[in-house]
Amino acid sequence: MSKDLQEYYRRNPLMVSSPFGGVDGVNHELAREVFDRLGIALAGRRILDTGCGRGYMGDYVRELGGTYVGTDFVASRAGFTLALADAAALPFPNGTFDTVFCIDAFEHIPEPEQATREFRRVLRPGGFVFLSAPNYSNVAGLVKKVCEGAGWYERNTWAPFRNWQPQELEHPLTGTAIRRVFGAAGFTRFTRIGHPVEVGIGLFPWVEHAKMPEAIKFRLQRVFAAAGPSIVSVWPAASLHGFWRIEV
């Protein structure tokens, strides 16, 4: 476990977030849409949420009749079952869970190969991983490479969130990298959908820069909001985030 990463999230609790929410609650509408499109049902299923942050996804899981267990290395909210643990060393027996969630945490895991092996180990036969993760096989990825390569940001810290605030251990994930690391752990089936709302930040990340004039920002957001669904339908990687169902 990275002590720097642990301390970062203690000092920056608002960074424990994702397109699904996470700071003050869950975006139920987005969760329903994404889970429906990926064929994910939660009723009667035992869910492990790795890197769960404040554990708000548990509220949604329980509403739909599932059982929720979270793991993280920072206890940031009470009221749900939480194991303080590293994703690379999960404290559960083999075959404990029907589904593993990893929602906007995988890019921060120092040992992703070991974590994916742990995900597979704790899954029951027929189980799967639901992964939400940033995608850098787009313009945002080029900006990340330039900013870090030029020394403007330290390696694995640039991200276009919160006015380009440096992250702690923001790996440059791509669809190819995700397939490779999960494939090495024995996963063989991958279904990905994009997030139309984030096509703008994926293709023009300057829209989130602190110096972007508000008037221009709002115009760009309207343009990308209108074009996003069509773009992401043919190029899912255009959006900053990708949502995955990953099966053995």
pLDDT number for residue 11: 57
How far CA 237 is from CA of 18, 67, 134, 197, 201, in Å, comes to: 17, 32, 10, 13, 12
Tens-place pLDDT, residues 19-44: 898 667 888 999 999 999 999 999 99
Tens-place pLDDT, residues 100-109: 999 999 998 9
With CA atoms as reference, report the closest residue to 241 among 119, 102, 147.
102
pLDDT number for residue 113: 97
* Cβ-based burial of 16 (10 A; exposed 0-12, middle 13-18, buried ≥19): buried
CATH for the 3-247 domain, from 3.30.70.890, 3.40.50.150, 3.40.50.970, 3.40.50.1820: 3.40.50.150
pTM tops 0.85, yes or no: yes
Tens-place pLDDT, residues 137-194: 999 999 999 999 999 999 999 999 889 988 888 999 999 999 999 999 999 999 999 9
Instruction: Evaluate whether 49 touches 119 at the Cβ level (below 8 Å).
Output: no
pLDDT number for residue 126: 95
Q: What percent of the chain has pLDDT over 90?
A: 76
